[in-house]
Structure 1
Amino acid sequence: MSDVREAVMPRQVRGAQVLLFVLAVGGLVSMLALSDGLTAYGQGEMLAPWSLVWVCALLALTYDGGARGGVRITTIVLMVFMVLPTITRMGEAVGVGLFLDAALRILLGVPVVVLLFLPESTAWFDRER
């Protein structure tokens, strides 16, 4: 008799994973759409937070495999480093495009942090393999 235990990822973790993928694609679209009207400095300033999102999206690929609590904490820290400066600089957005870019990062970034702090998410990453 075999003892098979099926590990199913909680909805909270799957939601954070999907939000990170959507945020990564949204960042790519945003960078492509807004890069023509920006200087090199502006493009670099815009690329920095999106690069953190893309790293988090790569980390999200491991959520259903052997990811541990360190992956969860790293994702949370990187997302906080992306969201907080965006919130503080939201008022400095010159055009509608830059404002929407910042709003996208905030509206999708904050729920990722919240979802990864939930007890179900913590239990998923701390589970026995």
Structure 2
Amino acid sequence: MQYWLFKSEPSTWGWQDQLAKGDAGEEWDGVRNYQARNFMRDMAIGDRGFFYHSQTEKAVVGIVEVIATAHPDSKSDDPRWECVDIKAIETARTPVTLDTIKSDPRLAEMILVKNSRLSVQPVTAEQWRIICDMAGLKV
């Protein structure tokens, strides 16, 4: 299993929107960055990811699971853009803010710390465990 982080502006698509989709999940559409798209191409069904609210909140707020591998983004006519489908798994008991992540030396190499603009990014197993512990999430 691989681990990921999916960033979204809560005013556009927030954790509550994701939860409302239930087991049917939702496309992670609208990604228009080649590196982020390529990361989605590497995802497998069952991979887990952090759902991260960007903009003002800047925090990990839950865990999602990949339920469909990369396929054409239904909201684009351009065949270059693909997305995966994800469903909500668990809400963080304690949201983990970007400031908290940046202040932990064990997370200094995390892509979120080094490139906070990338909307889809990998997370190492160790980073996953640390943030899950901070958030009160199951590992």
Give the TM-score normalised by structure 2: 0.24
Give the TM-score normalised by structure 1: 0.26
More helix as a share of residues = 1
Structure with bigger gyration radius? 1
More strand as a share of residues = 2
Relative contact order (C-alpha < 8 Å, sep 6+): which is higher? Answer: 1
